[in-house]
Amino acid sequence: MTTVLKLGGSVITRKGERETLAEDALDRAAAAVASVPEDLVLVHGAGSFGHPPADEYDLSPTAGTDDAAAALDVHDAMCLLNDAVLARLQDHGAEALPVHPLSAGVRRSSDSVTLATAPIETMLERGFLPVAHGDVIVDEARGVSIVSGDELVVEIARSLQADRVGLCSAVPGVLDQDGAVVPRIDELDAVAAALGGSAETDVTGGMAEKVRSLLGLDVPASIFDLDALAAFLAGESPGTLVAGGPEANRSA
């Protein structure tokens, strides 16, 4: 059974403090992930490492640049965070290895993202834990643009035909307008009014884009917080279950 899990940048970093780890949360997450014996691919978000420079250069999934120095500023920030995540995972006994999308992926002119996943598959076969991350990515139409962790989760899950998908977020699920967790989402229209962007700098679309992306998967996906991570890794579906499939991927 293959699981694709994303650790949100808002979970493992302090998004209001540039290039600052949320040390305790990262350690809790790393300990939980390292204890999983099954095939697992980990993706982490950008948080306070990648989002600030991306915002300064006006980079996003739909805005790019031909300035290599700008692209490298974002990439270097993400590699710094990735190194920290890898180190913490290895501290807990995980055989974790990095997957850098800048060197493995491309955004097509159609805005679809393609990632070379053969290295990820081989890592899994050899017992390694692949750890990918939001990054800059070469873009057929824009030079270099941003690829979000959410996009990578969807692309990896599709390519590997993953059995389970989870997004560990700063909130316990998708919240309705009263602040209660929505237990299940089958189409975007049903929750569009309650979805909004991040309170901190986030160039990748916030919760609305997460739900939109996950609705296109052929397997259900769970959105939950750090307190529910162990339950998800144990096979449960905590938080919000996004289960619409391709036909539900509609905007309001």
Residue range 29-67, pLDDT digits in tens: 999 999 998 899 999 999 999 999 999 999 999 999 999
Query: How far is 150 from 168, CA to CA, in rounded Å?
Result: 11
**Which CATH number covers residue 166?**
3.40.1160.10
Query: How far is 110 from 36, CA to CA, in rounded Å?
Result: 36
pLDDT for residue 252: 38
Tokens (6 digits) for 161: 């035909």
Domain hosting residue 226, numbered range: 2-248
Within 10 angstroms of residue 223's Cβ, the number of other Cβ atoms is 29
Is the predicted pLDDT of residue 201 greater than 80, yes or no? Answer: no
Is the predicted pLDDT of residue 189 greater than 70, yes or no? Answer: yes
Is the predicted pLDDT of residue 103 greater than 90, yes or no? Answer: yes
Query: How far is 30 from 40, CA to CA, in rounded Å?
Result: 13
pLDDT digits (tens, 9 = 90+) for 220-245: 999 999 999 999 999 999 999 998 65
Q: What is the mean pLDDT of the chain?
A: 91
- The total number of structural domains in the chain stands at 1
pLDDT for residue 245: 58
**In degrees, to the nearest 5, what angle opens at C-alpha 24 toward C-alphas 18 and 30?**
100
